[in-house]
A and B are shown apart, each in its own frame.
Chain A
Amino acid sequence: MPRIGTEADVSESNLARLATEVEKSGIPWLDRLRESALDRFETLGLPSTREEEWRHTNVAPIAATTFTRASASGGAVSKAELSALALAELGCPRIVMVNGRHAPDLSEVTGLPSGIQVESLAAVLRSRPDEIEPHFGNSARFEDRAFTALNTASFEDGAVITVAPGAMIETPIHVLYLTAAAGVAVVSHPRTLVVVGDDAQASLIESYQSLGDGAYLHNAVTEVTLGQNARLDHVHVQSDGPEAFHIGSIQSLQARDSRWTQHNISFGAKLARHDVGSVLGGEGAEATLNGLYLAVGDQHVDNHTVLVHAKPHCPSHEVYKGILSGHAQAVFNGRIVVRPDAQKTDAKQSNKNMLLTDDAMIHTRPQLEIYADDVKCTHGATIGRLQEEELFYLRARGIGLAEARSILIHGFVGEIFDKIAFDPLRERLAGEALTIMARELGSGEER
């Protein structure tokens, strides 16, 4: 297959050189952090498929691309252009980054309820860097993650969401990263920091989108810190263009009795890799990982999740579902670590896949590492097809083949979308999923 090229070679990539072009901030802790991140990236290099964590995902096409910094590519975006995107207007406050830089004209964050701040990372670093220092780089460790090191060394802007202790914020906040560049392959390193104080509650939507179909790289890092009894409902939508590369890490640290519900929805992109992880670092902390990936044509999508149960009485619930068509490939690697202290852990994981063609492929692997003796851990993986018998049943009731397929696909993905509480987003996502699959099935065999 054409996308399996040679091994990644960091020396061929210009990503490290681009990182050196980023201006010094003058903030001592940040400049030190960036410097060590760049060192680390140069040492690690881009991951190769010889590494266990990257065995089925080859980033050679990224190494082989000469990137331009997105922020240097110009590319102003009008409100009308933005609004034309299916997932841009969700009817809630939003902060927009275009080509890696804050776009105040496109952002709508006025009139936020008290208790929540939504700001550009660059602005916070200019005005109050000390406030974010304790949280920055805390959960997104880069010692053994090359792309996180690269992001840390290279990011130019991003979003900071701060929720004050005790604040109950009902309105979701939308952080939208948009790439709009024509003719050149651009790279941006979106960086999102979310800090939810003790007893506070908030709802966040992160989305990654593009205008135009060109090649680009989103190398994103999202860090979440949840205080005691804090709650965050967190939807991450990756809806990149057909030639895009998306590498993302979403990491959270959870204090006692906190609850993180993370929905990871992945459409589009030629190559997407998501590392989702949480450390359940206090008793009674709860994590829900709810994932959906659709891959068609020759797309490749890889989800690696790691849940670390560090303390007793922490439940975790993980369901990842995927639909693959064409020659698409997907990887699901779900790791659950139960540390010796973490008695009474209750961890459930499942990965269900629907393969619509003979050439689609899924690599699925649960990885349980249990060092405590009084725990409940279950996992399971399924791989199936659209059932002929189910299709016939629907058709025998007058429902046409295309609609019958769409109903079955809707049924399969419904389990994931039903858990997304914000109606406008859920409806858009379900619509988008059906559009993608209808286009794919329509272009497939005729019957």
Chain B
Amino acid sequence: MAVGRRDGRAGQDVLRRVGEASVLVLISLAGGPKHGYALIQDIKELAGVELGPGTLYGALDRLERLGLIEPLPADDRRHPYRITAPGAAALRVHLESLERVSAAGRLRLQLGGI
């Protein structure tokens, strides 16, 4: 699945269905490799969302299965992860899609005078 998404469907928003937690993890890893605790702290800071550890590991496993992140050699008991090139591309596509939706939403609010 990961290979097909990486090679065959370039430009498609593969992050649309992975859930908010996975997108937040990917955004956090776009700033550099991190392990679990650092990810939770960073996401809390950047989005104000406190990810539960169970949610975090679920998101990490999902993203790794999709080939969007990869584990780095373990540092003691901690496993850092980093974003892969397909992960960065997928994140770019997703953020562009969000920006389009956001712009359309703002425009409609203006036109509707709400």
Co-complex (A, B): no
